[in-house]
Amino acid sequence: MLENIGRKLIFPIDFPSQKRTFHLQSVILLISALFASAFGFFTQSLLNLLICYAAGVLITMLLVVPPYPSYNKKKLQWVKPSMTNSSMATESGKITVESSGEDIIIVQ
């Protein structure tokens, strides 16, 4: 039960997006850190610096953390299995196996 819930809360994104979000994150955080320091220095206020940097971190979180649909467009395409049920049936000759879902019906 809990495992199922945990599996649904992973929210994965595709590989190119993972690379892109990581790059985005480090660039935005560095820029906001430098900008916040400069802003705080020129206004001579540590509180301004903290607010500015917190805003930067929040923006980064909003851009990077949620699994937006655009981050899932290039999902990895797995190779489909070439062996099908019908080919198995021709090899065995007499017995044909049809599978629909999890139930297996044997027809003679």
Partner 1 sequence: MYSINQRFSTVANQSLSYGLLIIAIIVGTSYYQLQSSNAFNNLITIGNINPTFAIRTSRYYGSTNGKPKENVKLTFDLDTDLTSLFNWNTKQVFVYLVAEYKGQKHPAISNTVTFWDKIITTKKDAILHLVNEKGKYNVWDLEDKFQNRDLEFSLHWNLQPWVGPLIYGETVGNTSIVLTKPEKKKKKNTGQEESVKENASVDE
Binding site for partner 1 (CB under 8 A): 9-13, 18-19, 21-22, 25-26, 29-30, 33, 36-37, 40-41, 44-46, 49, 53, 57, 60-61, 64-67
- Rounded to a whole number of angstroms, the minimum distance from the CB of residue 104 to partner 1 is 35
H/E stretch holding 78 reads: none
CB of 84 to partner 1, least distance (A): 32
Pick between residue 42 and residue 83 the one whose CB is nearest to partner 1: 42
Instruction: Give the three-class secondary structure for 54.
Output: helix
CB count within 10 Å of CB 87 equals 9
Reference 54, options 26, 31, 30, 32; nearest CA is 32
